[in-house]
Amino acid sequence: MRRAGLFGRRGAGAPDAGTPRRASGAAAGDLAGDAHGAPSRAAHGPRFGGTADITSGKGPRGGPGSQGAGSIDVDGVSVTIDGTGILHDVSLQAHPGMLLALVGPNGAGKSTLLTVIAGDQAVDSGTVRVAGHPLASWSIKQLARERSVLLQQTSVAFPFTVTQVVEMGRAPWIGTPFEADDEAAVAEALDLTDLHSLTERHVPSLSGGERARAALARVLAQRTRILLLDEPTAALDIGHQEDVLRIARAQADLGDTVVVVLHDLGLAAAFADRVCLLENGRVVADGTPTEVFDAELLSAVYRHPLEVLTHPVNGTLLILPVRSARGPSSEENP
């Protein structure tokens, strides 16, 4: 595990990103040699995704360079808003194939860090590189073809239908050969998020969970190499939480770079390759879930006694608040 200030840099290790990896349609060409296979979803029988095949392609490289596409390199970033320091000397890296979870208590700076990576929040010092290039060298359009963002608060002011919202994810590709993939990308995203029965519903009429899935579908339809998801599971029941993380994991396994803010440490332990633990705007730990999820450290950061257990069957870490044993109530057992 790397604690604050010890974060080492590693090579981008990105595959050649100058060409789309999982091309669909004539415009994208034939990439039969792609090493990534489609993830199997049948084994777990998720409610998301009956027929969609997550093998369709991303667009061409959206940004200024071809090396390290999909890589994220945050180096010594500090952010001050209205005179208050929000992020302090934050460094982290993510690369294709990785699912990186950002965790930490409320107000730790997770959302701010995500918007910094997205290029939507200016930094006071430090650098952020996407695909090896400083964010400043990217145009808005180029960035929109490289990374998609699911914000913590998504509001749809106008009564767009679910389909219309998901179609908005295709906007960056207007006027490119990848416009030909619009219909397939939208259908795939709707399928993956189990929204086919709601396509004509107006978004304001949806439940919180349905709205969250529509927002995720828009991000998936954008078909970018980098997915930045801020608490995508917040409004979802436990089954849909699993499905969202399974989709995110599948995208990473196909070679995308996925950065996801999570409150549920158990989900992070189960699905993330790497975890970055933030506290008061600083990275206090960065490593694999096993490295970062140390009971003493978590208890200190969350200011609550927590215990880390190992699932007896699958070995996944379970992070729980320490609770005293509670017997049956006296009313039930007089």
The answer for 265, left when phi > 0, alpha when psi is -120 to 50, beta otherwise, is alpha
Gap between the Cα atoms of 266 and 98, Å rounded: 18
Is 106 an interacting residue with respect to ligand ADP (CB under 6 A)? yes
Is 221 an interacting residue with respect to ligand ADP (CB under 6 A)? no
Q: Could you tell me if 169 and 219 are in contact, meaning their C-beta atoms sit under 8 angstroms apart?
A: yes
Binding partner of 86, given Mg ion, ligand ADP, none, CB within 5-8 angstroms per partner class: ligand ADP
Helix (H) or strand (E) holding 21: none
Q: Give the ranges where 193-287 is alpha helix by DSSP (H).
A: 208-222, 238-253, 265-271
Binding partner of 104, given Mg ion, ligand ADP, none, CB within 5-8 angstroms per partner class: ligand ADP
Residue 179 neighbours by CB under 8 Å, 6+ apart: 170, 173
Is 97 an interacting residue with respect to ligand ADP (CB under 6 A)? no
Is 110 an interacting residue with respect to ligand ADP (CB under 6 A)? yes
Residue 52 neighbours by CB under 8 Å, 6+ apart: 187, 188, 189, 191, 192
Q: Shortest approach of ligand ADP to residue 157 CB, angstroms?
A: 20
Identify which of residues 110 and 211 has a Cβ nearer to Mg ion in the complex.
110
What is the sign of the dihedral through the CA atoms of 8, 302, 245 and 217?
Answer: negative
Binding partner of 82, given Mg ion, ligand ADP, none, CB within 5-8 angstroms per partner class: ligand ADP
Binding partner of 220, given Mg ion, ligand ADP, none, CB within 5-8 angstroms per partner class: none
Is 111 an interacting residue with respect to Mg ion (CB under 5 A)? yes
139-158 footprint of Mg ion as x/- string (CB under 5 A): -------------x------
Q: Shortest approach of Mg ion to residue 272 CB, angstroms?
A: 17
Residue 110 neighbours by CB under 8 Å, 6+ apart: 102, 103, 104, 230, 261, 278
Is 153 an interacting residue with respect to ligand ADP (CB under 6 A)? no
- Candidate residues 91, 93, 111, 233; the one interacting with ligand ADP per rule CB under 6 A: 111
Residues at the site binding ligand ADP, with contacts judged by CB under 6 A = 81-82, 84, 86, 104, 106-112
